[in-house]
Amino acid sequence: MEPMKLSTRLLVLAGISFFVYVGVAPLYKNRGSALNPKGGTLLPAVGKLAPAGVDLHMIGVEQGRVLPGEDDRPWWGQCQDKGYDKTQCHEKLAGTRPQTAVEVVVGPFEKPAILALVAQDKVRWDLKLENATILNKIILMGGGPLSVTGNSDVPVEVYTQKPSPCDNCYQGDGAKYAYAFDSTLVSVLDRLKQLTGLDPQTVQLKREGHTFFVSSTTPEFSCAAFEKKLHADQCGSLAKGIKDIQNILKRPPNESTAHYQKSLKAAQERFLASDCR
């Protein structure tokens, strides 16, 4: 499979800026910092592409199953119970998320595997490894904080926006997350490609995921097929936008007509630049 790149047409369609991650932290330096307050042992596998004969498997969620005792109400719904006024409530609770968990039954695989676990919110990934399952490493990536259990002595690399302290892992930058087969997945795939040199063998995505099974029988993911469908969907969206503006311009002219004429021209230029036909 050819390496997947974020093509020019996807940049135009998605309307996003993608900045390539161009380096990694020193491999053996203990980075006790805001990102990794505990420091911990940094693993020498970081920065090295996956060896031959290893498959990459990705699972992505927004959040998992809310754990008992956690308050999953929005922050403003918790103010009265906690005795906070509006200002205090926003300062203390805005941006907080309940602890959630996702169970992943892993293996068996025909080859050693790298497991990429991606989440937007606060997720604990609980792994259950089947017999003879060989994991090369685990990648935790997303908003965070993220953690993993059941991984035994499998090396862990962490790339999260919020601190995800751990005692025996590598903490890196360049966090991405996705839980739907849309343009957000493109940046995650590119980031994983940088870290491993691999396109994923399997990809499973769900907004709220409780349990996943990943093994050699999981349906294969095709980067080429995904890119083709994404391009078609986005071209369809652009075409619909052009048609909607054209319908508006069929109405009697008014003070907004000039604005819509400019919008139509810009939309048509984007359509052509995106190689849509």
pLDDT value at residue 92: 67
Lookup: tokens for 273: 């630049």
Instruction: Indicate the domain borders of the chain.
Output: 24-220, 226-273
pLDDT value at residue 31: 30
pTM: 0.76
Average confidence (pLDDT) per 10 residues, the chain, 277 residues: 46 36 29 36 56 95 91 73 74 78 96 97 95 92 94 90 86 93 96 96 97 97 95 93 94 92 92 85
Q: How far apart are CA 9 and CA 169, in angstroms?
A: 37
Q: Tell me how far CA of residue 25 lies from CA of 29, 171, 174, 177, in angstroms.
A: 8, 9, 11, 21
Q: How far apart are CA 127 and CA 91, in angstroms?
A: 35
Closest CA to 47 of 215, 159, 207, 186: 159
Rounded (10°) CA dihedral 234, 237, 241, 244: 160
